Amino acid sequence: MTMRAKKSLGQNFLVSRAVAAAMLRAADVAPEDIILEVGPGKGFITEFLLAAGAGKVVAVEKDDRLIDVLREKFAHAIKTGKCEIIHGDIMETDVENIRGGKPYKVVANIPYYITGELIRFLLENKTPPQKMVIMVQKEVAERIVARDGKESILSISVRAYGVPRYIKTVPARYFRPQPSVDSAILSIADISANHFTNTDKDLFFTIVKNGFAHKRKLLRGNLGNIYEKEAIKEIFNICAVKETARAEECGLVDWICITRGIKNHLTREL
């Protein structure tokens, strides 16, 4: 099939069967699984998902040039209810209607320009997936799992909802056209909003954002610009966070504890 990739849609089609197989292993695809695939392109991964015996593959494709191609290629699977091709933008798609009230997983080689937005859309969705196995830029995957030991807004935001794992590096040569950087398979498992059962979600993300506002400054200095300095000192002591700590040195547990401490302090002031 000859079709030029659209740069505007960030299309880099995967052409490695070994990499596709690695994604399926990471997703642990089972016969009862509903799989949401974002940006199936020419259906390379879709074909693997169907061959692996997924219960149903729902592929959402934005490029109108590919819809008829996909529907023709997977006509039999569509007829038997094993596959559904949806023409649309995933960010405007009602996931609840797609999954039909059943749990689902996401397996996709996603357009890199929507990586952060898409991860947030899925993790914060009212019906989030059980698990996500996605292809992202290598640098982004490394940041999410904090490979260098330094946390970021992105890594903390993902950890707040699930457990990220770096599966493997995927060299640029395994795509057509070749991107300018290497990629990586990233898994996010055990997805839930349980951390926010007793923690104010909006306040949590406000605190994290402010905490990372000035990376060279100490965390207590960044938060002390927004909240009462003495209160921050007391909260750090309760949470066992060093006064000399920087935002990148604090893990999810620290941020949750700080959020609860600030929430209690604000409540007392009312």
- Which homologous superfamily is 7-192 in? Vaccinia Virus protein VP39 (3.40.50.150)
Annotated binding residue 89: yes
Rounded CA gap, 38 and 118, in Å? 10
C-beta separation of 175 from 267 below 8 A: no
- 89's tokens: 């933008």
C-beta separation of 109 from 14 below 8 A: yes
Q: What is the mean pLDDT of the chain?
A: 93
- 80's tokens: 């038997």
Annotated binding residue 12: yes
pLDDT at residue 237 tops 80 = yes
Question: Which neighbouring-strand residues pair with 13?
Answer: 176
Amino acid letter at 2? Answer: T
C-beta separation of 85 from 59 below 8 A: yes
Tokens 């016969």 label which residue?
A: 31
Fold designation for 196-269: Helicase, Ruva Protein; domain 3 (1.10.8)
Three-state helix/strand/coil letters over 63-89: CHHHHHHHHHHCHHHHHCCCEEEEECC
DSSP tag of 165: E
pLDDT (average), residues 110-132: 94
pLDDT (average), residues 123-137: 96
Peptide bond just before 164 cis, omega within 30 deg: no
pLDDT at 152: 96
- 196's tokens: 């926010």
CA nearest neighbour of 169 among 147, 145, 136: 136
pLDDT (average), residues 10-28: 92
pLDDT (average), residues 64-84: 97
Annotated binding residue 14: yes
pLDDT at 100: 82
pLDDT at residue 10 tops 60 = no
Residues of the chain with CATH 1.10.8.100: 196-269
Residues of the chain with CATH 3.40.50.150: 7-192
Identify the band that residue 4 occupies on the pLDDT scale cut at 50, 70 and 90: low
pLDDT (average), residues 81-94: 95
Which pTM does this prediction carry?
Answer: 0.92
pLDDT at residue 9 tops 70 = no
